[in-house]
Amino acid sequence: MHPVVPIPFLDRDHAILAFNQRVLDWARRAAVPLLERLRYLCIVSSNLDEFFEVRAEPHLIAALRKQHQGAFSVQSFAELSRFTHDMVEHQYRLYNEAVLPALKRQGVEIVAHSERDEAQRRWVKAYFEREVRPLLIPIGLDPAHPFPQVANKSLNFIVRLTGRDAFGRDNDIAIVKVPRVLPRLMRLPEKISGGRILLVSLSSVIRSHLQDLFPGRLVGQFSQFRVTRHSDLAVDEEDVKNLRTALRHELAQRHYGQAVRLEVAAACSDHLANYLLKQFDLTELSLYRVQGPVNMARLTQLIDLVDEPRLKFKPFKGSWPTQLNPGQSFFERLKEGDVMLHQPFERFDAVLALLREAVQDPQVLAIKQTIYRTGSDTELMDLLREAVRQGKEVTVVVELKARFDEEANINWAEMLESIGAQVVYGVVGLKTHAKMMLITRREGRQMRRYAHLSTGNYNPSTARLYTDVSYLTADAALTSDIEQVFVHIAGMNKLPRLKRLWLAPFHLQHRLVEKMEALGLAARQGKEARIVVKMNALTDEALMRALIRAGQCGVKIDLLVRGACMLPAQVPGLTDNIRVRSIIGRFLEHSRVFYFRLDGEESLYLSSADWMNRNMLRRIELAWPVTDPVLRQRIVDECLVSYLNDGVDAWDMGPDGQYVRVDTAAAAIKAGAQKALMQRYAAPAVVVKGNSAWT
């Protein structure tokens, strides 16, 4: 193939923030139920927290402290800061000018101190004295009481006092740390709510009683504040004898990493804001003045406190998988052929049912499984625990470094080890991100394997919120490969040649590039070539260059990238043949599907991996082929075609890298892919067969 024409990639951090702008758009839509609009505001806040915790710290060091020549300059950090400040300002404007007034019209209100009547103020006063005050210890600052350690994302108050303290000194700054055990919102009793749903925020309760915490002195200036700290754990795996112990030590320090962002109330005085910036060694660029709670993500409590179905999405419960009959043995069904589950439209319960049958079946001798994120739901762990009690050989690969799930995974690992399961922590230097379960069963004089592979995690909670594809198979070649991967991870032996699986970091990236190179060569020879890829992020330079080369050779390429995409689309003369589309819907798009077609001959792979450098080179990831033509066509129709035709929830990237929401009025199909799938699976579904019309 001819060399690719150079093209600059888009900035990754701006791409991440642009994704959050698209999420924020859901909070703007009047057709979305009010409490769901608030939920999207909270999701954006949570996403921004993680962005700062993980992404901001290296930039601060490189841009603001070392200030050396490099890929990330002081100027680009300033541009990123302006972008983020504008988005946060827009977020709080939506909160104050759209969502809160609309909730008030529906009889739901967060009541400020100035708006409370006398009965409500008495209740708040009693609540403060009974529940809050006993947990607060105001800290006056002087040489003997230096600025206290403030935990990551915790709620705090800074107060400027007038007068002198009990010892006649004029130290004027105090800090009030708010314990995390206290709820951030409380609902007022019905008898003093006047027929409405009234709530009070914890920050408002404390603010209205700050003076009570400083008898003998007057409270002058004050502000709530919150600091975000760098929270990515740094453990040198090559230099530790026990990764689990080292991670436990790091977890204890996570809440007190380097400060990267400071949030204060909009009315915070310059004096107090500058004082805090100096304490946390931050610049003005890292200061965010917000017109509302500094911890907006915690407002999800309001959604839980308000039991008003009319203000929420209509509950959706996926159907039982269309390829499975309730009560039928999974093992007997899989002997007939592979089975696909499209979550959450079909229920993840079926995966747990497979494991449950394996645990209870005396012919099942061994169960192997990877654990990346399982959440707090114990059903899956209870099943693995029961399998050990039943005398089965249970091997669990636990990824201890799953970001922000480290502690839960350490606890699960210790529990499983304590009862006799074989627990493996993966390969040094690599995260085990592959999602796989392998069941070995004695059938007569033979051993037969059954497997579950997935684009998503073994987490029953997120399985109701994320779109993913689960794949059940008894294919001998595929299950043999999965067995080899488990043996490789546990024994760290040389990996034998695999028949079906593509495995990172060994050959997944290389095989993908090979596929695209072959299609590009065929397209130059006048053959019809097509690539459609669905993933969460596209930031790997080798794969982006391969896509550009293929597109410049004439391959028609559609990229369904939910989040960050660094590949600019539709640039005249460079990426004319590449379209990039992002779908932001009620559910979080999470499935990874790779489709290739050459003159009518199709191949399709499902995968645990996004097209990111870390997934290709620093993780254990899987991609596996779907060879059953009926299942392949179903995945094409449901996971690709429907999203390429989405006329409601789609955003298309322009040549400038900016996204524009699809024009519903002009769309050929005036429906959202997710809504169509929800409707399809609300009743018994039929597997779609036949060819699909790509657009």
Per-position b or e across 264-285, b if 16+ CB within 10 A of its CB:
bbeebbeebbebbbebbebeeb
* 3-class DSSP state of 312: coil
Give the side-chain half-sphere CA count within 13 A for 339.
Answer: 26
Closest alpha carbon to 352 in 362, 363, 341, 336: 341
CA distances 335 to 25, 320, 413, 479, Å, are: 46, 20, 33, 13
CA distances 350 to 341, 355, 377, 434, Å, are: 8, 9, 16, 19
Question: CA–CA separation, 256 vs 421, rounded Å?
Answer: 34
CA distances 423 to 30, 382, 426, 475, 669, Å, are: 50, 15, 9, 26, 49
Taking a C-beta distance cutoff of 8 angstroms, is the pair 73, 172 a contact? no
Closest alpha carbon to 98 in 31, 43, 44, 49: 31
Q: How far apart are the first and last CA of the chain?
A: 27
Taking a C-beta distance cutoff of 8 angstroms, is the pair 176, 161 a contact? no
Residues with a known catalytic role: 433
- For residue 131, give every residue at least 6 positions away whose Cβ sits within 8 Å of its Cβ, in sequence order, or none: 182
Taking a C-beta distance cutoff of 8 angstroms, is the pair 687, 322 a contact? yes
115 CB burial (10 A radius; 0-12, 13-18, 19+) = exposed
Taking a C-beta distance cutoff of 8 angstroms, is the pair 507, 534 a contact? no
Closest alpha carbon to 232 in 375, 59, 11, 426: 59
Q: Determine which helix (DSSP H) or strand (DSSP E) holds 5, and give its type and residue range.
A: none
Closest alpha carbon to 227 in 290, 274, 159, 286: 286
Longest dimension (CA), the chain: 89
Phi, psi of 183 (to 5 degrees): -65, 145
- For residue 140, give every residue at least 6 positions away whose Cβ sits within 8 Å of its Cβ, in sequence order, or none: 161, 165, 171, 173, 174
| Dihedral over alpha carbons 126, 128, 131, 132 (to 10 degrees) | -170
640: left (phi over 0), alpha (psi -120 to 50) or beta: alpha
The separation between CA 693 and the C-alpha centre of its own chain, rounded to angstroms, equals 32
Question: CA–CA separation, 170 vs 167, rounded Å?
Answer: 9
Two tokens at 260?
Answer: 């990267």
- For residue 451, give every residue at least 6 positions away whose Cβ sits within 8 Å of its Cβ, in sequence order, or none: 436, 437, 438, 439, 472, 473, 474, 478, 479, 482
